[in-house]
A and B are shown apart, each in its own frame.
Chain A
Amino acid sequence: MCAVGCGSPAPQQRLVSVWAMGREGEVIAQLLPQFRKLHPDIEVKIQQLPWTAAHQKLLTGFAGDATPDLCQLGNTWIPEFVALKALAPLNQNLARSVRVQASDYFPGIWDTNIIGGTLYGVPWYIDTRLLFYRRDLLAEAGFADPPRSWEEWSRMLAAIKARVGPERYSVLLPLDEFAPLLVLAIQQPEPLLREDGRYGNFRSPGFRRALAFYREMFQRQWAPPIAGTQISNVWDELGRGYYSFYISGPWNIGEFKRRLPPEQQGTWMTAPMPGPDGPGASLAGGSSLVIFRRSRHKEDAWLLLEFLSSPEIQQRFYQLTGDLPPRRSTWGAPELASNVYAHAFREQLERVKPTPKVPEWERIVTDMRLMAERVVHGDLSVEEGATDLDRDVDAILQKRRWLLSRGVTP
């Protein structure tokens, strides 16, 4: 460190290194000129990571003491990196901040960044799941509006299936995605883990109700029993009417706009998730901006975080990426207000719930998906699936229980 100019007090170089993933990593560079105008003395270095390699790269970065100052982090990964003690707490920064106001954020999304009462990230954009559907096919089946409850939804799925015959279906629930079942499960009153994340709670009546409904959709052949990788093109297939409902996220607004031909553009729409009895909750997904504990430029990183979180910049970010902003004030912007497909997301965002905040969650939810796949294939009943899953999850959480019993907060 002392190789160059140790004696003379060289001007402190203010450099903020940033890691961002996928498309966001490309776009962030276009927002920076404005930041440089505000803070000409801070240099920002951006590194782009592909999503598929991001998790592994972050872990190896942590193990090798090479983490960045500021980083985009999927909000379901936050508990894991908090367990690693890799993230800096942000409560003090927030208390002093004028530009980041917690009350302006959708509460379900904000909550995903709080672990044990401490704030570790600020939401950057949101990602929740809801229905993409074919208005025309629904109207032909005799329904003017999208479903509000599971019961209404079931009636529509049955009516559509009756019209399209055995070769086509009503809804696509890809078996290689955990999100569709997880959405149904999170709508239930019971939490998915019990006793502060010590044990699984999948035998609860709520989860079994969700699993039974999920299985019913396959049993009645409303949904084809296939994985997403077996569908060459999910957008074309919705356009062809291979299915009329598809549970997916905000990035598909842009994809459907781009990929469906102009004459079909009037036929699709988005709708909030129907729930067991009336409008239901959905997942509080998305990415947050976090500052690493080992950063030596935390204050400058916070300046950049504030800049990226300001409503004006978030509007531009939305224009560039189509990513939906987590702040209510940004939603007033004309570009968002005029996007009819975003309205359902705006409504859904008031009803999003975080998943259990344990580092093992990713593995638990993968086990849940594998169990659900076996239930769909008829290898397990709903009861057996729920019991098996609880047993596996309890085993996964064994080390967490051991740590908690020793008084260590994982």
Chain B
Amino acid sequence: MSFVSKPRIIHKSLKRNALGLTVRDYEGVATTLCAGCGHDSITAAIVQAFWEMDMPAQQVAKMSGIGCSSKTTGYFLSAAHGVNSVHGRMPSVTTGANAARRDLTYIGISGDGDSMSIGLGQFAHVIRRNLDMLYMIENNGVYGLTKGQFSASADLGSQTKKGEANQQPPIDPVKASLAMGASFVARAFSGDKEQLVPLIKAGLRHKGFALLDVISPCVTFNDHATSTKSYAYTREYYHPAIHADFIPPSEEIVARYDEGETMDVQLHDGSHVILRKVDKDYDPTDRGRAFNFLMDAQDRGEVVTGLLYIDQKQGDMHQRSGTASKPLGRMEHQELCPGSEVLKDLQKAYR
């Protein structure tokens, strides 16, 4: 952990994006997590993704709950507003914020404890509402801040440092969200930035709820030989089922893709996600088959990654409820108050 403040030195050689900003401009305060923590790699990928997307900071709201993962919203995009709320309740705060300001881009950072245990109820219901947000779970199978208890995502038989084996089956955020009807489901590994960055971008641009579960080893409490959420285990059983390339609306698709192995998904804002399939039979628009594929892979002990499912037909919360396109939080009083004459009229029913 570091407690020195981070120097703001921007080297001249750093590239600038369309807003004239360098990647450093998308950083936050210095991390206080353990050296080698997977979460820090994810933070770096988030910084990279926002920078590459030319995202203005005021367009973003960073939301989190409690835990090591939830601390990380402080470590990127200092220039964006953020709420570090209470344990397991990030989805509700984000729902309210989105209700008020539908024009902002929401990134929620959670952990396996925050989402699969204390926050499982809110996790389920934010999916049900198809809230327009990217929901990232930094998944390490362990409670870090309280020093090493199993979380609900720990695999059966995975052991703690002291050798105690987990006796309860895991709740897998990917399978759970698929079952609950999520419209975008992806998994990645903190050690594979190349795969992670485009998934972050696609998730941010997806109109609706995007789940991105990122296996993110805890170097202090869950990175030993008998853990199934360690760097070594994840690397060995890592199974990228599908790669995603993200292409923003203004750019042309220049890379050459072999026909039959790729799938072009155009998002609502005009950007494209080109999916390169490693498994030829995989169809990321078929919820049932995606589920079966994951079940089979789990039996083999594999960690399947990639953009595993996408459905762009579901309307988000506002589309379903017919909310005004102008954000409610920006409306003037005159647009909202019916006035004294209407009040007189309404009261006729109470005479």
- Do A and B come together as binding partners? no
Residues of A at under 8 Å CB distance from B?
none
Binding site for A on B (CB under 8 A): none
